[in-house]
């Protein structure tokens, strides 16, 4: 489980595809991740992955065919958001993020507003039903609030701190982005659909 508050930015070194699975190699700044342990969970752009091996500044993960089918593809030298899993007693500053990507969205528009940015994210109607005005959403692992929505897209407002401290600073229009719907919205929709 995660908070959606990004700790640092990593860089994709390479991804070795093996049949329908893949090995992901990621460069990171070791000063941000102390006392790493094999088998721990780390969210990469919102995807909960298990740490298989590491050395001084490279992390290695395995991606299953299921994961590869659900998430936006990684590219060599891509900057990505990193967060280690929540520990008992940690402060929860965002919202509960599980690292289970529900689908992919596309950045349709970025509007500058002083030092802030308003992003419009387009996604499938299957996901749109889970979004509510002022509800929570995780985009590439970042805990955010939905400003508005219509039938095919929603908007979020990025403050300067979020832009500066996440890989969002490198994103542009038409980029794909990982979406995790809010867990509460998932259960409310499930109950509602059974009535």
The pLDDT of residue 48? 97
Say how far apart CA 45 and CA 101 lie, in whole Å: 9
Do 108 and 189 sit in the same domain of this protein? yes
- The reply to whether 167 and 128 lie within a common domain is yes
CA distance 164 to 88: 28
Q: How many domains does the chain have?
A: 2
Please state, in angstroms and rounded to a whole number, the distance separating the CA atoms of residues 128 and 87: 31
- HSE, side-chain direction, 13 A CA sphere, residue 184: 7
Same domain, 129 and 167: yes
User: Does any domain span residue 40?
Assistant: yes
Eight-state DSSP code of residue 37: -
Give yes or no: residues 36 and 77 share one domain.
yes
Task: Show the DSSP H helices in the chain as ranges.
Answer: 65-70, 125-128, 160-164, 183-194
Whole domain around residue 52: which residue ranges? 8-84
Classify residue 89: in a domain, yes or no.
Answer: no
The verdict on 112 and 186 lying in the same domain is yes
pLDDT at 187: 59
Are 163 and 118 found together in one domain? yes
Whether residues 79 and 114 fall in one domain? no
What DSSP line would sit under 141-169, residue for residue? TEEEEEEEE-SSEEEEEE-HHHHHTSGGG
Q: Do 123 and 157 have their domain in common?
A: yes
Of 54, 84, 114, the residue that ends a domain is: 84
Q: What is the pLDDT of residue 193?
A: 61
Work out the widest C-alpha separation in the chain, in whole angstroms: 53
Q: For residue 129, is it within any domain?
A: yes
Q: Is residue 14 part of a domain?
A: yes
Q: What is the pLDDT of residue 33?
A: 85
Q: Are residues 65 and 122 in the same domain?
A: no
| Same domain (yes/no): 189, 118 | yes
pLDDT tens, per residue, the chain with 195 residues: 898 999 999 999 999 988 889 999 999 998 888 889 999 999 999 999 999 999 989 999 999 999 999 999 999 999 999 999 977 656 666 668 899 999 999 999 999 999 999 999 999 999 999 998 899 999 999 999 999 999 999 999 999 999 999 999 999 999 999 999 987 766 566 555 655
| CATH number for 22 | 2.40.30.20
Vertex 63: Cα angle to 4 and 145 (nearest 5): 20
Query: Are 122 and 180 part of one and the same domain?
Result: yes
Measured CA distances, 134 to 66, 69, 76, 111, 154 (Å): 31, 29, 35, 19, 11
């Amino acid at each position: 489980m995660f908070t959606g508050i990004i700790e640092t930015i990593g860089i994709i070194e390479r991804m070795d595809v093996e049949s329908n699975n893949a090995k992901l190699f990621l460069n990171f700044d070791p000063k941000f991740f102390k006392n790493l342990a094999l088998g721990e969970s780390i969210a990469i752009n919102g995807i909960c992955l298990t740490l298989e091996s590491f050395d001084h500044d490279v992390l290695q993960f395995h991606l299953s065919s299921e994961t590869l089918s659900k998430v936006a593809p990684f590219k060599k030298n891509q900057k990505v958001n990193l967060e280690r899993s929540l520990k008992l007693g940690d402060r929860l500053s965002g919202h509960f993020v599980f690292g289970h990507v529900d689908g992919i969205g596309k950045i349709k528009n970025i509007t500058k507003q002083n030092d802030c940015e308003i992003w419009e994210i387009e996604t499938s109607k299957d996901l749109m039903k889970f979004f509510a005005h002022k509800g929570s959403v995780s985009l590439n692992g970042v805990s955010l609030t939905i400003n508005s929505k219509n039938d095919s897209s929603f908007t979020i407002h990025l403050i300067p701190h979020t832009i500066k401290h996440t890989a969002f600073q490198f994103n542009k229009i038409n980029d794909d982005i990982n979406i995790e719907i809010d867990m509460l919205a998932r259960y409310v929709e499930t109950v509602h659909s059974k009535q």
